[in-house]
Chains A and B, each alone.
Chain A
Amino acid sequence: MTNQEYQIIAAKVRKGVVESTFHAKSGHPGGSLSCSDLLTYLYFEQMRVDPKNPKWEDRDRFVLSKGHCAPALYSVLALKGFFPEEELRNLRHVNALLQGHPDMKHIPGVDMSTGSLGQGISAAVGMALSAKLSGKDYRTYALLGDGEIEEGQVWEAAMFSAHHKLDNLCIMVDNNNLQIDGTLDEVCSSYPITDKFRAFGFHVIAIDGHSFDEIAAAFREAASTKGKPTAIIAKTIKGKGVSFMENQCSWHGAAPNQEQYETAMKDLDEILKGLEA
């Protein structure tokens, strides 16, 4: 696939994020939009998955450790064909398939239930460890927030994965620099992120999380790294693709109203039109 094709899918993923959070009247669009490019590349290029056989034993695994960005994951899974796109409009509704945070028991394609920050990475480590114990060649990916890594459990998991040389594990940090109460520096800074993961024994790759060239190169490098886990620190823009949401802390956990929804969809349609032209 070409970068342009990835960009087109990513724009559609973002439309799904806006669509689903608008209909849910709640949810987390900001961080979902910042990680849409990473998730697009993962599911449409990088990962060995089969939408027709979501529980395939030898599939690559993905854990959305920053579980509140479920709208992005759901949007990608729907576009990939794990479930009908119409489900996105029922996000967070009573008895809906799509829960507010990922639910592995019911949602095809979701490999781990997450939502409580800091926990998903440990489960991903367990999956990677299981592959090592069983001699399987699947890879495990996990996406964390840059605020999420303030949780101590993340570093317990990091220490463990380096100790066990889990080179089949690739974690990503969505470094959009904003958490609920402000910028990382205003709240309780997790910087320097690259140095921290390096000190914990990771192979660290810093990239622009919206550049498909850099995303592709990073995953290639991760796959060829032996003897240690990889951490991709992706610099991103919270709210990416929707003009009025970009770099706005307030869009962490708020849904667009009717007017904002229309503006957001117009923004994304224009991006799509530009790409498809």
Chain B
Amino acid sequence: MSELKKIATRESYGNALKELGETCENLVVLDADLAKATKTEIFKKAYPNRFIDCGIAECNMMGIAAGLASTGKVVFASSFAMFAAGRAFEQVRNSICYPNLNVKIAATHGGISVGEDGASHQCNEDFALMRSIPNMVVLSPSDDVEAKAAVKAAYDHEGPVYLRFGRLAVPVINDNANYHFELGKGITLREGNDASIIATGLMVSEALTAADTLAKEGIQVRVINIHTIKPIDEDILLKAAKETKFLLTAEEHNVLGGLGDEVSRVVCENHPTKVVRVGVEDKFGMSGPAAELLKIYGLSAEHIIEKIKENIG
């Protein structure tokens, strides 16, 4: 893994926007004074007339996005996950999702890997908030390749989409000819029947590392990449529930309300199976280098390995 090229998905987002801008005339990008950090600045430089900085006013930005979308624009509205999904939650619900408007909430700096800024900026609750709103699609890409594909898929999807990108540079794991992004479809990255790791975002790369290490010890773990948290791919989850001993979910999010809860719901309702959830254990983060925080909060291949061994019996 260490040899893999690393790119932050926020960078992928900015690059994908710029690419979309070439052909998509109706694309408008909004930001709330964070263009340098969210990387919408890449789009801004290429298409200054279709970039609007709304200032530090996320709630108003979401409303403006709704108004623009009502006239036929496809809008990407960006801020940090904390402010896009958190502060502007109700604007996203009432002004965008209720009227089912074509707005993409592109949130960067999701999760604890925000690092040094600390708990106030580490949003581990955005999946929970966004997936509870009707009409909303929730995407959480795992790397550069997938992030770019997710941006295009979001543009092509008619209706609101929440996209979560990260601040931290993460390994490029999907750079192969067979890679195919289909909204709502999980991707099996490793086969195995001893257990399944259902991962999203930067935890997919950790899951692969864990699976490779476990394989050396004779434990064959399936790895499923869930880039679409909602609507979730029930088929791939139920297949894993039937064919493997238990499921382990791995996400850079509170264990409450995110992927772990969604996977638990699917298997509980259809094929009761043990689900072990790896994520932030219902607590706030703190300042520190991202890589260290991920280890401290249990968001690592090592912790996944430990949990798999603990539960495999």
Contact = CB atoms under 8 A, between A and B. Distances in A.
Interface string B65-79: 111111111000000
Contacts of B73: 130, 133
B86 to A, nearest CB: 15
Count class of interface residues, chain A:
35 or more
A186 interface: no
Interface in A110-160: 111-113, 115-116, 118-131, 133-134, 152-153, 156-157, 159-160
B71 to A, nearest CB: 4
Contact of B99 (A104, A116, A118, A125): A104
Contacts of A273: none
Contacts of A119: 59, 63, 90-91, 94-95
Interface string B48-64: 01101011010111111
By secondary structure, the A interface counts as helix
B284 interface: no
A111 B101 CA distance: 12
B28 A133 contact: yes
Contact of A126 (B49, B50, B67, B90): B67
A113 B95 contact: yes
B68 A127 contact: yes
Given A57-B72, A133-B28, A126 B63 contact: yes
Interface residues of B, number: 29
B98 interface: yes
Contacts of B63: 119-123, 125-126, 153, 157
Interface in B77-97: 90-91, 94-95
A129 B52 contact: yes
A124 B60 CA distance: 11
Contacts of A104: 70, 99
B300 interface: no
B52 A156 contact: no
B91 A126 contact: no
Contact of B100 (A57, A105, A111, A133): A105
A153 B49 contact: no
Interface in B1-37: 28
Nearest to A123: B67
Contacts of B95: 112-113, 116, 119, 122-123
Contacts of A130: 28, 67-68, 71-73
A67 to B, nearest CB: 9
A236 to B, nearest CB: 25
16 contacts: A57-B72, A113-B94, A119-B63, A121-B63, A122-B59, A122-B62, A122-B64, A123-B67, A123-B95, A126-B70, A129-B52, A131-B71, A133-B49, A156-B55, A156-B59, A157-B63
